[in-house]
Amino acid sequence: MKTFKTRQRQPGFSLIELMISVVIGVLAMMFVMRTTIDFESARRSSIGGSDSMQNGVVALFSMENDAAQSGWGLNDGLLLGCNARFFDSQGYSQTPGINSNTGGGIALQLLPVSVVFNGVNPDVISFMSGTSDSGTGSAGLSVTANQGATALTIDQPPFGFKFRDVVVIAPTTRPPAGACVVPYPAGSCCTIAQVSSIKLPNPPIDTTNVLNIVNDGTTSTRFNQGGGLIAAFAGTSLSKVFNLGDGNSLLFHTWDVNNGVLRLRATELAGASAAPASAVTGIVSIKALYGFDTRLGAAFTPDLGMRIGRWSAGMLDADGDGVVGSLGDYQRMTALRLAVVARSSESEKPDAGGTTCKLSLDAAGSPVLTVQPTVFASQEPAAIATVPIQVNVAVAGDPVDWTCYRYRVSETIVPLRNLGWKP
């Protein structure tokens, strides 16, 4: 007789248990996804805020350093604000798209700081300073140095002048508008050249001191036009020649912003004269204000210290003579207020079904689009009225809307210390 063993019941999940497990797994996955999304959002905000702060600080520090040094060698009354004729075989220019390697040179106003104010769009800010040890060295210059001259005959030994020094030739009396010989611009005029060699006297046969300004085809004489001195001056009065120091360290800097990048054109940086070099990324705007000492008459005592009386987005009649842009106005430029607007490197995700982002809440707690940042909003110094400017931070060609980035504004005030030190 055969015997049969009873089959044992195998353990397992019931249908109800399986359904409960699925529900628990879905809930866990939703929790993990939500946590991941929150983490990614926090990471974007943290990294973006850190990047914008770092980039803004670096950009502001770079321009602040230029502003602190600006004006060295340019604070003489014959130079300050004069409309210079300028040539550079390397192509430096304060104006984007304008190359100074042109016949007859280009106009270049000699100021510690010069700003092209562009309203809500980024400004173009230029700083100038020489590197001569004496700050400003000068000697009498003969009127025989006419247009096309390749030598400057001076009436005293050229102490402190040497090969490759950049010089500025200016008339001893600031001429009225229209008195400059073509191709000079109207107004006070001067011209820039570079020492190619120095000829000392050989008495009794030769008693003249000569600064040669020949273009030898090298970068050592890059500021000399091949045809000699760019222009001469009207009249018969003597002019002066000023020494700005070695041409390899001449500090002519121009800062601008293009497609979210802070750029620099500089005379002493190889390859950054004609074509700007990228300096700092993530910068969407730079802005500036002139600070003027507006005290009039005997109250204006620069030797005892200068002070800010008014902020302005442009030149103004600071000395009250009825002329905007006169020597007295330039002498009253006492400070520069700078602002840099940096944006996060990573953008937020646009709202569902849209292209913009809602990054802030109104008073009722409803999401609203952020407004573009405003610079110079606070009164500094407290008693001086400010000039607030709401800037345009949209970057042309960026497929991501400007509302999907976070922004940080960095500001500072820099005294133009060299303007208070008059020769």
pLDDT of residue 186: 46
- Does residue 77 have a pLDDT over 90? no
Final residue in a domain of this structure, among 233, 249, 265: 249
- Does residue 178 have a pLDDT over 70? no
pLDDT of residue 107: 82
| Pairing status of strand 83-86 against strand 106-109 | antiparallel
Q: Which of 105-119, 229-243, 340-354 shows the lowest per-residue confidence on average (mean pLDDT)?
A: 229-243
Q: What is the mean pLDDT of residues 65-78?
A: 89
**Tally of domains in the chain:** 2
pLDDT grade, residue 76 (50/70/90)?
confident
Residue 286 lies in a domain: no
- Say if residue 345 is in the same domain as residue 235: no
- Say if residue 105 is in the same domain as residue 241: yes
Residue 275 lies in a domain: no
- Say if residue 242 is in the same domain as residue 349: no
DSSP state of 180: B
- Say if residue 243 is in the same domain as residue 345: no
Residue 16 lies in a domain: no
pLDDT of residue 239: 77
- Say if residue 371 is in the same domain as residue 244: no
Between 100 and 291, whose confidence is greater? 291
**CB crowding 50-81: b at 16 or more within 10 Å, else e:** ebbeebbebbbebbbebbbbbbbbbbbebbbb
Q: Residue 284 in 3-state DSSP?
A: strand
- Does residue 331 have a pLDDT over 60? yes
Between 76 and 181, whose confidence is greater? 76
Q: Which of 28-32, 106-110, 217-221 shows the lowest per-residue confidence on average (mean pLDDT)?
A: 28-32
**Average pLDDT for the chain:** 82
Q: Where are the beta strands (DSSP E) in 92-208?
A: 106-109, 113-116, 124-129, 137-141, 151-154, 165-171, 189-194, 197-199
Q: What is the mean pLDDT of residues 368-382?
A: 85
Final residue in a domain of this structure, among 249, 266, 288: 249
Between 357 and 42, whose confidence is greater? 357
- Does residue 125 have a pLDDT over 80? yes
Residues spanned by the domain of 91:
78-111+131-249
- Does residue 84 have a pLDDT over 80? yes
Residue 177 lies in a domain: yes
Q: What is the mean pLDDT of residues 178-182?
A: 52
Final residue in a domain of this structure, among 249, 281, 297: 249
Pull the structure tokens for residue 381.
Answer: 């110094």
In the beta sheet, which residues pair with residue 199? 210
Which amino acid is located at 191 in the chain? T
Between 368 and 383, whose confidence is greater? 383
User: For residues 313 and 140, is the Cβ–Cβ distance under 8 A?
Assistant: no
Question: pTM to 2 decimals?
Answer: 0.84
* Closest residue by Cα to residue 227 from 108, 142, 141, 104: 104
High-pLDDT (> 90) share of the chain, %: 37
Residue 317 lies in a domain: no
Q: What is the mean pLDDT of residues 335-341?
A: 96
Residue 371 lies in a domain: yes
Q: What is the mean pLDDT of residues 186-199?
A: 81
Highest-pLDDT range among 23-32, 182-191, 266-275: 266-275
- pLDDT tens digit string along 16-32? 777 777 778 777 787 77
pLDDT of residue 291: 96
- pLDDT tens digit string along 385-407? 999 999 999 998 898 889 888 88
Residue 44 lies in a domain: no
Residue 351 lies in a domain: yes
- Say if residue 86 is in the same domain as residue 211: yes
